[in-house]
Amino acid sequence: MTLKQLKSRILDLLSANEFDAAFDLFNQEISHDSSRYKGIVNLRARYSDLKQAIITGGTAIEKIQEGKNQLRTSVMDFTELLEDSDFAGWKPAQGMAFGAPAPSFEQDEIPVFFSRGTPFNDVQEKYVNYFKSRFEQYGLRLETAEWSAENALLPVRRKLKEVYGCVVLAIERMHSVESIYKQGSPKETKANSEYFTTPWIQMEAAMAYQQELPLLIFAEQKIKNEGMIELGAHEFRIFAINPETPGELEEDNFKFLIKSWSEKVRKFYVEMNRSAVQPKG
């Protein structure tokens, strides 16, 4: 089975909620000596805990479904990190040169674009700083673009060409006590107490998506879902956070998410840089 075939088969199994079969396939195809194998063990342990919750019946159906969705996303993210060398019985292709030293990018600090509104209170300030530290521990450097009054989008475009991923943190910028939609039309509606993030989140996330950068989006729970942070509108998930409880980032699901995504960014970074230094012709 090739890596591409494995990814396709795992996706099919997850779509059918066949988690046991997916983990059995991992166990069969992935070398137990691979550094990735521990990730399989951890994911299967999470699934065992989920099954136990179903058996005991003490967990709401909504929470069970949420747990399945989170696990499905984690497994899909893990699958994207796999390489040919993780397969059981893998051997280097004949003619692969090992004598000449190759550039190593494994320990480099990697720049990542950080799309977020400027914190305007202590709660947001503390959360943003702690949030950044969770990525920095894996060698990622979260950067923002400098402001330009003449052309505000140009620094963003330039910065996105210098980075290898984009992390979006959509937190409150505005609280609308009463909103009127499509005012003066037959479809006019009113909404009370809505929270909005900065519109720059929408633009920067869309620009990163267009450049096909690894993209990870977090949004404060109370923020209105729309555009790039609209739940269920894209192939990627939006992860809900609460700035008042930064300790949530130490929960297993967030720790695994951040670690897995950081590895995905590093893999992307290594591939891009190795292809850039390979001799041509």
CA nearest neighbour of 172 among 104, 221, 129, 212: 221
Q: For the segment 25-71, what is each residue's pLDDT rounded down to a tens digit?
A: 888 888 887 777 778 888 888 888 878 777 777 777 777 788 788 88
Q: Quick check: is 94 in a domain?
A: no
Q: Quick check: is 105 in a domain?
A: no
- Tell me the two tokens of residue 91: 């051997």
Q: Quick check: is 96 in a domain?
A: no
DSSP, res 223: B
Q: Quick check: is 103 in a domain?
A: no
Q: Quick check: is 225 in a domain?
A: yes
* CB contact at 8 A, 42 and 54: no
CATH number, position 143: 3.40.50.450
Same domain, 135 and 38: no
Q: For the segment 170-208, what is each residue's pLDDT rounded down to a tens digit?
A: 999 999 999 999 999 999 999 899 999 999 999 999 999
Rounded-to-10 torsion of CA 65, 249, 73, 166: 140
Q: Quick check: is 255 in a domain?
A: yes
Placement of tokens 């300030």 in the chain: 125
Q: Which residues contact 6 (CB under 8 A, 6 or more apart)?
A: 25, 29, 79, 82
Same domain, 114 and 253: yes
Same domain, 127 and 51: no
Q: Quick check: is 98 in a domain?
A: no
Q: Quick check: is 130 in a domain?
A: yes
Residue 106's pLDDT band (cuts 50, 70, 90)? low
Same domain, 198 and 243: yes
Same domain, 118 and 229: yes
Give CA 245 to chain center in angstroms.
20
Q: Residue 139: give the domain boundaries.
A: 110-277
The total domain count for the chain is 2
Q: For the segment 204-231, what is each residue's pLDDT rounded down to a tens digit?
A: 999 999 989 999 999 999 998 888 888 7
Same domain, 32 and 124: no
**What is the model's pLDDT at position 102?**
47
Looking at 86, 120, 144, the residue that finishes a domain is: 86
Same domain, 166 and 254: yes
